[in-house]
Amino acid sequence: MERKPEELPLLLRLPSEILEHIIYVASKIPRDDHYQFSSWQYPEHSYTHLKYIALTCRQLYILCTPYLWRDKEFILPAESDKPGEASNIQMATDILSEQAALFRHLSHLGCYVRSLCRDLTNSPYYDLPDSSLMAQLVCNLRALRVDFHPKPRTQHYGLVYFAQHCPSLSEVYLENCRDTFDDFYTLVHYQRRLRSFTLLNCTIKADTLIQLAELCRGSLQSLLLQQVWIEPIQNDDDHHHNNSSSNNDTNPDEGPTEINNLTTSYLHSNSSTLISHHLYTHILSSQTNLTRLALSDSVAMDILEIIAEGSPHLERLAITLHERRPARVVSSLLAISKLSKLTLLSLAFRYSTNVIHERLASCAPAKYWKLLIQRLPQLQFLHVSASQLLLHGDFILDLLQPSSSLKRIMLHHVALVASPSPMDSFDCNDPWESDTEQDILHGYEQDLELAQNTLDPWQRSPSLWQHVEGYILSLEQAERKGFTCFYSTDKVCFVKGFDDWTEA
């Protein structure tokens, strides 16, 4: 018998809409990701908190159930863990197909799932039947993450099932996925206009990448491409040869072979190539809603200018630059300075090809770094990695001002350049506009002659050292503090706001 409203606890007398909002807020997982570049933001709610609330009473159980099932993660059991007669392991598809208690209008619990994370790294064996059934059970899915085993497959990866059966799919995060069998084209075929797209250690066909970028133009908000290669188009003979080779490699008596993983050596042997300048030009043009972008490939100044022009709302940028000429480096910094909404900037100077990764110096005169920061008023995180970074002492002092918006800064191999006198630095003209290529080259050569790459000149200036002590570190001091991210050639480093990295 149902109780009268006046007999209920005060909390349960509230309208269901208000109770649901309370549950939503109370179970939300707080994320301090202002200084991170994370493209997978799930789960959103604490399962533990929700479970205790749901066990309180029937009404709260009904309100909590959608959140309890909103974010699911399944790990593929190892071969030794496969369900047997005496095993209590329940298959993911069995869980998702269960009838929702008290919810007769829903056919199964999978209808509640909005984000799905699948860890398939325990085994290279395929689970396509399970993938097909799972995709049909999570028909309201919005975000999909799959970490595949690194061994290349001899058949497709099952992405087609989710592209076909999940019409709301808008976020895709994949690791170790090869596009040999056109998995990624299924996103184009089923017209899935993504808002977030992350690929780690994957390959993708060039035409598919172009079509997918065109399809998602205007909807894409987050793009992360890390170690992504272009999959070569193979003819039937190539497929037959690769299938035969892969089948031989999967002989359990032979054990794993290094070349059959998605490593650089395997990609070379398979004729995979880096994403070309032309492809980057196409996929990054006019991505007007993009707010997060991270690329592991090194790019040229032209690509940065395309990004600045086509994605004016960018808030987080992690990019690698391979320019060596001072004028082009300065033009690259100018392009970045136009992204006035940036809160996070990670900039590395490095040249990457199929066979080498060469760390480069930042060939920009010291004054341009101060001009860059002045144009980025919302910047909170700054990371610059170079084999040499020319900076003025007063620029470092500006970074340490309490009024500075920059809370976390990490600079590799800082070379101190004497600050210009007030009279020399006074110029009513904007250097971005007035300096010619020859002026920039001359300024860089002058700074390079004055550059000092050790800790001694910082310590010899009492007025400077009293402010920067504890922030300007030698490599040995940084390592003693627990920082392991610096190179052996980083003689002087600048670190501000990373205390949580070394608390342990």
pLDDT score at 311: 97
Mean pLDDT of 79-89: 49
- Residue ranges of alpha helices (H) inside 89-167 are 92-96, 128-137, 159-165
Partner residues linked to 320 by β-bridges: 298, 348
pLDDT, one tens digit per residue, over 366-382 is 999 999 999 999 999 99
Residue 246 has pLDDT above 60, yes or no: no
Residue 100 has pLDDT above 80, yes or no: no
| 432 contacts 334 by C-beta, under 8 angstroms | yes
Residue 191 has pLDDT above 70, yes or no: yes
Binned at pLDDT 50, 70 and 90, residue 170 comes out as: very high
Listed residue (153, 162, 161, 275) closest to 223, CA to CA:
275
Measured between alpha carbons, how far is 363 from 447 in angstroms, rounded to an integer?
10
Query: Interhelix angle for 47-54 vs 16-26, to 10°?
Result: 150
Measured between alpha carbons, how far is 275 from 300 in angstroms, rounded to an integer?
13
Structure tokens at 417: 């350049």
Q: What amino acid is encoded at 87 in this protein?
A: S
Q: Please name each of the domains of the chain with its CATH number.
A: 70-76+101-247+256-290 (3.80.10), 298-504 (3.80.10)
Mean pLDDT of 354-359: 78
| 208 contacts 215 by C-beta, under 8 angstroms | no
Measured between alpha carbons, how far is 187 from 197 in angstroms, rounded to an integer?
11
Partner residues linked to 345 by β-bridges: 317, 382
What's the whole-model pTM score?
0.85
Supply the DSSP string of 180-218, one letter for each residue. TT-TTHHHHHTT---SEEEEEEEEE-HHHHHHHHHHTTT
Supply the DSSP string of 420-477, one letter for each residue. PPHHHH--SS-HHHH--HHHHHHHHHHHHHH-B-SSHHHHT-HHHHHHHBTTEEEHHH
pLDDT score at 257: 31
Q: Element (H or E) spanning 493, and its range? A: strand 492-496
| pLDDT more than 70, % of the chain | 82
pLDDT, one tens digit per residue, over 315-339 is 999 999 999 999 999 999 999 999 9
Q: With H, G, I as helix, E, B as strand and everything else as coil, classify residue 501.
A: helix
pLDDT score at 263: 52
Binned at pLDDT 50, 70 and 90, residue 42 comes out as: confident
Return the DSSP state at 258: G
Mean pLDDT of 8-23: 80
Residue 301 has pLDDT above 50, yes or no: yes
pLDDT score at 285: 94
Measured between alpha carbons, how far is 300 from 321 in angstroms, rounded to an integer?
6
Q: Which residue has the tokens 């990695």?
A: 385
Residue 270 has pLDDT above 90, yes or no: no
pLDDT score at 355: 66
Q: Element (H or E) spanning 282, and its range? A: helix 277-284
Q: Which residue has the higher pLDDT, 460 or 68?
A: 460
| 192 contacts 161 by C-beta, under 8 angstroms | no
* Omega of the bond leading into 256 within 30 degrees of 0 (cis): no
Q: Which residue has the tokens 């040249």?
A: 351
Non-local CB neighbours of 360 within 8 Å, separated by 6+ positions: 321, 322, 324, 349, 350, 351, 386, 387
| 137 contacts 130 by C-beta, under 8 angstroms | no
| 260 contacts 246 by C-beta, under 8 angstroms | yes
Q: Which residue has the higher pLDDT, 418 or 103?
A: 418
Give how far the C-alpha of residue 410 lies from the chain's centroid of Cα atoms, to the nearest Å. Answer: 18
Q: What amino acid is encoded at 153 in this protein?
A: R
Q: What amino acid is encoded at 247 in this protein?
A: N
pLDDT score at 52: 83
pLDDT score at 269: 56
Residue 216 has pLDDT above 90, yes or no: yes
